[in-house]
Amino acid sequence: MIWPYPRVVAHRGAGTLAPENTLGAIRHGASLGFRGVEFDVMLAGDGTPLLIHDETLERTTDGKGAVAHMPYAEIAKFDAGRWLAERWSGERVPLFADAGCLCRELGVWANVEIKPAKGFEAQTGRAVAEMARELWRGADRPPVLSSFAPEALIAAKVAGPELPRGMLVGRVPADWKARMRELDCVAVHCDYRTLTQPLLEEIHASGYAVLVWTVNDPREAKKLLDWGIDCIVTDRLDLIAPHC
């Protein structure tokens, strides 16, 4: 495919410069000129889609417990910014609905990683796709839905067949062509350290795009972009320019 999205994307909102997966992070990344953002969506215990990476609350909030076992009304009480710096105190775990609306307001494209808690793969894929369809209805550039969980991608395909999907892997598997066909994805999303230029060219020749994560060295970013990589995700918004 011809990649119609930004080539440099802010990881979890604004990388290391703001508390991950928060509205403040999305705003901060956009303020630095980044027109693409990546974030993670999981379901709370009541089925509400929200932004968080871990299955538990401890690392990125002042709360405790499993995300999948707690209603969103409880999760929303916890601070999700102070862990990084006092200036971010008051940030909350946001709703996917609010993050999507903010992206559209700011003109920021989104790579939405479906991040299901274990055992909730299909349920999460379905819920994220259904909500994404509504949030980006009529948008020129809909989000790409990606996931490590094949079950989540299959459920997303059924719930929102028109939304593009990315197969998220650490290392591109030997049977990647069969998997891409099965999941009906438009792009391979992989760890940049496992990618070679010949493999990139092979994937491109088969009609797919390639996104790599998480590239934090400007020299590596330049090399990959020179290879013709479609998109890089980075934490270092202070070192890698949004318009490489």
- Known catalytic residues are 11, 53
Nearest to 41 by CA among 127, 164, 136: 127
What is d(CA 161, CA 218) in angstroms, rounded to the nearest whole number?
36
Beta bridge mates, 31? none
What is d(CA 81, CA 86) in angstroms, rounded to the nearest whole number?
8
What is d(CA 85, CA 168) in angstroms, rounded to the nearest whole number?
31
Tokens representing 70 are 């707690």
Can you say whether residue 3 is alpha, beta or left, with left for phi > 0 and alpha for psi between -120 and 50 degrees? beta
Tokens representing 6 are 């930004």
What Å distances lie between residue 132 and 69, 110, 159, CA to CA? 23, 10, 10
| Alpha-carbon dihedral angle through residues 34, 36, 40, 46, given to the nearest 10 degrees | 100
What is d(CA 35, CA 213) in angstroms, rounded to the nearest whole number?
17
Nearest to 123 by CA among 135, 112, 131, 133: 131
